[in-house]
Every structure is written in C-alpha cells, then in structure tokens.
C-alpha cells in the first residue's frame, strides 16, 4: 500500500509546497499554507508532449499536419442559446442581461445578508417557466427550507393546502387557475438536502435540471479526500467537479460561498477563477437595502450593482435607486451636495454630507463613511493650499447618504463643495449637481460617461450641472451646463451669495478667509 504524502497548499493562490513556510513562496501572503495528506497515484501522470516528445519532424512528401479535435473560429456555431430572465431585473442587470445557460455564478456575502433568501425567490420565479429546477441545501433540512419558503410566500402550494382543496370538495376542473399554476410550479421544483458531492453529482446527471442552486460550497465534502469540509482541497475539488457536470449537461449553477472576516470569499482563490461570475451581496445590518455587486463576469460588465430592499416577505427590487440615496430635500441644510456616481453602466444620484467643526484635540480628526478616506485627505489639502481655506486645525467628517460606497474620482468636486459649504455655513443650490475630478493643482479634470450621468440628473429634476471645462456634453437634456476649470470656480457657482441661516453657530468670525 502506498504511503501518504504530506503537502502544504496555499489557501489564497492554491500553490503547493513540500514543506511549511510562514509566507507562501508563490503569492507572498503570510499564514496561508494548509497541511494536506495525499496518496501518490502514478497512473494519473500523463505525458504532455512538448520537449519530451519523441516524434520526429515530418519527412518530405508526408501529409501536412491536421488538427485532431481543435476547430477554427469559423466552424463554431454563433447561434448559441440565448439568455433567459431570472424573474428579477436587478439580478439580470448584474449578470449582464440575464442568466447564461451552463454558467457558474458564485454569490458571496456576510451571514444573514439574504443570499439563500434571494436564491429561493429566484428559483420560485424560474420554476414557473423551466421544466426542472433543483435546490441543493447542505446547511438546512427539507423542513427548514419549507418553513422559510412559507414565510416568504414562495415555492409552491404546500401539502396541507392541497389536502384542504381536496377536502373542500373541489375537483380539478373547479380549482382556481392561480392555485393550478402554483401546483404546476410545485412539480418543477426539487429540493435535495445533501452534503455528499457524489450523491449531488449523480442527482444532477439523472435529473438534468436547467438551473441548480448549491447552498453552500464550503459545506460539501468529497469522500475520497481526507480533509474536512471547507478546506482548500475540498472546495477546489468540489467546485471543479460541479463545473465539469454543469458544462457537460448545460446546467446553470448558482453557488453560495461564505466570506471571511475580511470580506473575501472563504477558500482558495482558485474558486473564483473556476466560476464564470462572482457576485458579492453587500449591506448594512442596520439598514434595509442590499447591494448585489459584480466583481467578475465573463458574460457582461463588471462592477454592476443591483439594489434590493429587505421587507417582511423577503427581498424586493428597488426600481429607482437614485431616490433611495437622496435624503429628504425639503429642509435645506449646509454642507450637502449632490453627485452622480456610476456603478458599471448604472448612474446613481447620491447626496454627500460634510461637517467641519473646531477640534478639541491637538490633531484634527478626519472620518469618512461611504467615501475614500485618502481622497478626503487629498481634497482637504487642495482646499487649503489652492483655495486658501484653513482646514488643518478643524475636524472634517464626510458621509454618503444611504451608505453607498462612492469610490470613483468623479465625486471629488461634490466632496470639495460640501466641505466648503459646511465651513462657511452655506447651503448649496439644491437643483445643482457637481461632477468632476479634483487634481492636486486645484484644477477640475474630465471624467467618463458624462452624458449618462447628466441624463440621470435631468430625469430627477435637477436644473444645473457643474462639469469640467472642455468636456463635451449634450445640451438636449434641459440642464444648464456650467463648465469650470478650477475648484474655486465650482465653489462660487455652487454656493450663491445668501444670508446666514438662523440658529447656526458663529464660525465666520473665527475663519475670515472665504473664496471670492
């Protein structure tokens, strides 16, 4: 009997090492090597040709080389199977226009964020149109899944309801069409509480569902491996086996993945390389809205987002996300400005709020929520050096309304205007949006997708737009375009002369300098 061999596998990059190191020799990350016992199998070694091949060159007059299994691009059929809708427009948008048959979609997120709830609602919609849909649960029993489905009001007519229809004397021809539709949907949905990978693979090959959900990949185990479920080897082998079956049988797989405390999907990095699409389900536990963000997509654009709201009956789509991230605009307050951020191809109008106040400590405090901390530091330095506003001895707080992360440079101009408005206790024109990147020299730089942003602002009723000078903009949207080349010009255009608001602290005497 062959003796077992000990190797060490990196949980980040999947590289193998014969001994343990504090730092992975391949990716350079510390404390990622995990011990793994393997059995040597010499029969699995394959001669891969190349420089080891003993084939001699073709002699003169011999037949030319011919392909064995490869084909030309012109021989590949272009009429591939079209995408199909998942029943949720936000999910279809993140996937690039719909679900691609035979694709692998990995969905990760914090515990309790709503991953299983979303997929349960998705298969409920797909079960109305597709012949066979399979839900594999490795974490819950069938009774627990049915209890959650009953709470959400999805996934079929229950057994008790069917018996009640029978006892009431209703024949099949007298059944309500809505109830009959539910019963037909019940015949299309299959639930399999199982953790053994081999059993799941046999069920996939026998049932051949159009869509299958694996919840979750970290709880599956392959009996041929001695490691525990969730280890590097188990996750890699289980995902690889599921990928082969999905591609061979043209099954769309939605795979749920756990995340670490840092927010990355648990397991080896090769897990994200094997799948076609990686989605992250984000959200604040104290807020009701959820963001579904695409970080990898072989069939569409990355960094697309879909927005949902958690209600008592599960997740509900948000039709107009821009209204969600704009707070109540009836009461004007100093230190706020409106920007238009782009997530992928979706423009979202976001309100930025700033607060500047005297510090109580030797060094001022800077804090951000939803915006980049380093960009705030850079903008404060530009305002002090290029505009002449003394901010080095003041605390500065900047937040985005609704908690949406605004990381792109196009929000720099709105952030600078909000900070100055808070410093001077002034109100920014509520009908104005500011779009532009702020350079270290105080100049306003052009940004991308300007027409898409302006169209979204015009749809929500804004009248003016402050944009970088020299940027070509469409004038058919009904917006007054104000091109600016310097930050000081944008501040003057956004903060018109106005009297001081009542009941505000007297800061003007302490900070006499004001941009003119």
**Number of neighbouring beta carbons within 10 Å of residue 35:** 11
What digits encode the pLDDT tens for the residues 454-465?
999 998 889 999
What digits encode the pLDDT tens for the residues 84-104?
999 999 999 999 999 999 999
Helix (H, G, I), strand (E, B) or coil at 274: helix
Phi then psi for 307, rounded to 5 degrees? -115, 130
Rounded CA-CA distance 279/297 in Å is 9
Kind plus residue range of the DSSP H or E element containing 67: none
**Number of neighbouring beta carbons within 10 Å of residue 367:** 12
Per-residue pLDDT at 511: 40
> Which tokens is 241 given?
């086996």
From the number of C-beta atoms within 10 Å of its C-beta (0-12, 13-18, 19+), residue 425 rates as: middle
Selected from 3.40.470.10, 3.40.50.300, 2.60.40.10, 3.40.50.2300, the CATH number assigned to the domain covering 89-319 reads 3.40.50.300
3-state helix, strand, coil in the chain (%, to 5): 30, 25, 45
What is the DSSP secondary-structure string of 171-222?
-GGGS-HHHHHHHHHHHHEEEEE--BHHHHHHHHHHH--SEEEEE-GGG-B-
> Sign of the CA dihedral 427, 430, 432, 437?
positive
Judge whether 399 and 368 are in contact, CB under 8 Å: yes
Residue with tokens 């009941």: 503
**Number of neighbouring beta carbons within 10 Å of residue 44:** 6
Per-residue pLDDT at 46: 41
Q: Which residues, given as ranges, of the chain have pLDDT below 50?
A: 42-54, 158-173, 175, 178, 180-181, 504-516
> How far does the chain reach from its first CA to its final CA, in angstroms?
86
What is the CATH architecture of 323-494?
Answer: 2-Layer Sandwich (3.30)
From the number of C-beta atoms within 10 Å of its C-beta (0-12, 13-18, 19+), residue 62 rates as: exposed
Q: Which ranges in 79-141 belong to alpha helices (H)? A: 89-95, 115-126
Rounded CA-CA distance 497/494 in Å is 10
Per-residue pLDDT at 48: 42
pTM value?
A: 0.76
Judge whether 404 and 326 are in contact, CB under 8 Å: no
Residues forming beta bridges with residue 38, ordered by sequence position? 5
């Amino acid at each position: 009997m062959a003796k077992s061999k000990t190797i060490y596998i990196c949980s980040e990059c999947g590289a193998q090492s014969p001994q343990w190191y504090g730092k992975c020799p391949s990716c350079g990350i510390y404390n990622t090597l995990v011990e793994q016992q393997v059995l040597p199998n010499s029969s699995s070694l394959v001669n891969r040709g190349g420089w080891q091949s003993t084939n001699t060159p073709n002699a003169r007059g011999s037949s030319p080389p011919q392909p064995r299994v490869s084909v030309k691009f012109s021989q590949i059929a272009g009429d591939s199977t079209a995408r199909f809708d998942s029943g949720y427009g936000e999910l279809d948008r993140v996937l690039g226009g719909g679900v691609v048959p035979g694709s692998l979609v990995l969905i990760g997120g914090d515990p309790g964020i709503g991953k299983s709830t979303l997929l349960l609602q998705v298969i409920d919609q797909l079960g109305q149109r597709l012949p066979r849909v399979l839900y594999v649960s490795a974490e819950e029993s069938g009774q627990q899944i049915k209890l959650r489905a009953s709470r959400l009001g999805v996934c079929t007519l229950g057994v008790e309801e069917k018996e009640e229809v029978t006892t009431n004397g209703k024949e099949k021809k007298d059944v309500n069409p809505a109830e009959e539709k539910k019963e037909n949907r019940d015949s299309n949905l299959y639930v399999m509480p199982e953790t053994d990978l081999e059993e799941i693979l046999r069920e996939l090959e026998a049932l051949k569902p159009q869509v299958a959900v694996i919840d979750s990949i970290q709880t599956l185990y392959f009996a041929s491996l001695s490691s525990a479920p969730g280890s590097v080897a188990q996750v890699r082998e289980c995902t690889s086996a599921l990928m082969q079956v999905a591609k061979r049988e043209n099954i769309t797989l939605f795979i749920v993945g756990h995340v670490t405390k840092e927010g990355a999907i648990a397991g080896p990095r090769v897990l994200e390389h094997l799948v076609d699409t990686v989605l992250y389900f984000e959200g604040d536990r104290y807020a009701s809205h959820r963001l579904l963000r695409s970080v990898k997509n072989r069939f569409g654009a990355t960094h697309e987002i879909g927005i949902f709201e958690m209600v008592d009956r599960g997740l509900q789509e948000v039709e107009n996300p821009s209204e969600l991230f704009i707070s109540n605009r009836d009461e004007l307050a100093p230190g706020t400005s409106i920007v238009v951020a782009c997530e992928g191809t979706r423009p979202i109008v976001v309100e930025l709020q700033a607060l500047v106040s005297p510090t109580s400590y030797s060094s001022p405090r800077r804090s951000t929520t939803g915006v980049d901390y380093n960009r705030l530091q850079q903008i404060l330095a530009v305002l002090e050096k290029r505009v002449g506003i003394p901010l080095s001895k003041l605390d500065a707080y900047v937040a985005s309304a609704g908690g949406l992360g605004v990381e792109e440079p196009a929000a720099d101009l709105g952030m600078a205007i909000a900070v100055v408005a808070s410093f001077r206790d002034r109100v920014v024109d509520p009908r104005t949006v500011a779009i532009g990147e702020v350079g270290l020299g105080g100049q306003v730089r052009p940004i991308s997708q300007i027409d898409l942003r302006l169209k979204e602002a015009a749809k929500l009723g804004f009248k003016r737009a402050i944009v970088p000078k020299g940027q070509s903009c469409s004038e058919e949207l009904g917006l007054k375009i104000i091109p600016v080349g310097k930050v000081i010009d944008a501040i003057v255009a956004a903060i018109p002369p106005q009297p001081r608001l009542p009941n505000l602290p007297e800061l003007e005497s302490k900070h006499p300098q004001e941009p003119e």
